[in-house]
Amino acid sequence: KQEVTQIPAALSVPEGENLVLNCSFTDSAIYNLQWFRQDPGKGLTSLLLIQSSQREQTSGRLNASLDKSSGRSTLYIAASQPGDSATYLCAVRHQAGTALIFGKGTTLSVSS
Amino acid sequence: GAVVSQHPSWVICKSGTSVKIECRSLDFQATTMFWYRQFPKQSLMLMATSNEGSKATYEQGVEKDKFLINHASLTLSTLTVTSAHPEDSSFYICSARDGGQGVFGANVLTFGAGSRLTVL
């Protein structure tokens, strides 16, 4: 059964720092991997989606990498801002018709 | 982009009552709907998978008689929490897969905004 682990569980940084969030998954036979942002009490905002054949995706200050063989993904946030404070969730899919399996998330706090 | 409208966004009910949550795909055919719940400070846990016109498949530990899922059309799926109790208080969120020929494709799952249920 696929398990998704995210480290660290929580992270506090001062504004302007670059940071890396880690995600690992036990079954490397994935279809794609997706990073989401969730604000307190709110739904999900999709940040980046990486297909199994891809190595990385970039959007603005965000860069996500995927090493499928080792079962790892990282989300890099450059020049962090207080508005980046949220919980970041990593999720994987096995096949096109299957559900996303989520990690427990990393709660990020960026102080000004 | 693809949109899934989920209602209600929040609901408070008395113990023993039933609550229905709706998810509608506004511009695509949601052939598959995934239902998740999220307890405070926990991640999203898959509850069940429903394909249009078929019975839902429930994850281990999820009571199918308590969480009734209906997916009778390609644009509407509902989750009914029957005889709700305080331990059912949670954030429920749906996720739809586009199974039609539209531009959004089956590659991406579209999430509703979620429904926060509080059972008194």
Residues A20 and A73: beta-carbon distance below 8 Å: no
- Is B42 within 8 Å of chain A by CB? yes
Mean pLDDT on A4-21: 96
Nearest CA among B74, B67, B57, B65 for reference residue B92:
B67
Q: Which residue of A41, A46, A96 is in closest CB contact with B106?
A: A96
Confidence class for position B40, pLDDT limits 50, 70, 90: confident
For residue A75, the model assigns a pLDDT of: 98
Q: What is the CA radius of gyration of chain A?
A: 13
Q: How far apart are CA B38 and CA B47, in angstroms?
A: 10
pLDDT tens per residue, range A66-97? 999 999 999 999 999 999 999 999 999 988 77
pLDDT tens per residue, range B63-115? 999 999 999 899 999 999 999 999 999 999 999 988 665 554 556 789 999 99
For residue A97, the model assigns a pLDDT of: 79
Burial class from Cβ neighbours inside 10 Å (0-12, 13-18, 19+) for residue A80 reads buried
Mean pLDDT of chain B, nearest integer:
90
Please check the confidence at residue B33 and state whether its pLDDT lies above 60: yes
* Tokens (6 digits) for B95: 């996720």
B64 forms beta bridges with none
Greatest Cα-to-Cα distance within chain B, rounded to the nearest angstrom: 44
* Tokens (6 digits) for B43: 């991640």
Residues A59 and A66: beta-carbon distance below 8 Å: no
Partner B, chain A 70-99, Cβ-Cβ below 8 Å: 89, 91, 93, 96-97, 99
Q: How far apart are CA B9 and CA A87, in angstroms?
A: 20
Phi-psi region of B64 (alpha: psi -120 to 50; beta: other; left: phi over 0): alpha
User: What is the torsion angle, in degrees rounded to the nearest 10, for the CA atoms of residue A54, residue A77, residue A90 and residue B22?
Assistant: -110
Please check the confidence at residue B30 and state whether its pLDDT lies above 70: yes
- Is A54 within 8 Å of chain B by CB? no
For residue A12, the model assigns a pLDDT of: 97
Instruction: Calculate what percentage of chain B has a pLDDT beyond 70.
Output: 92
Residues B96 and B25: beta-carbon distance below 8 Å: yes
Chain-chain contact of A104 with B42 (C-beta, under 8 angstroms): yes
Confidence class for position B15, pLDDT limits 50, 70, 90: very high
A73 or B42, higher pLDDT? A73
pLDDT tens per residue, range A31-68? 999 999 999 888 999 999 999 999 999 999 999 999 99
For residue A53, the model assigns a pLDDT of: 92
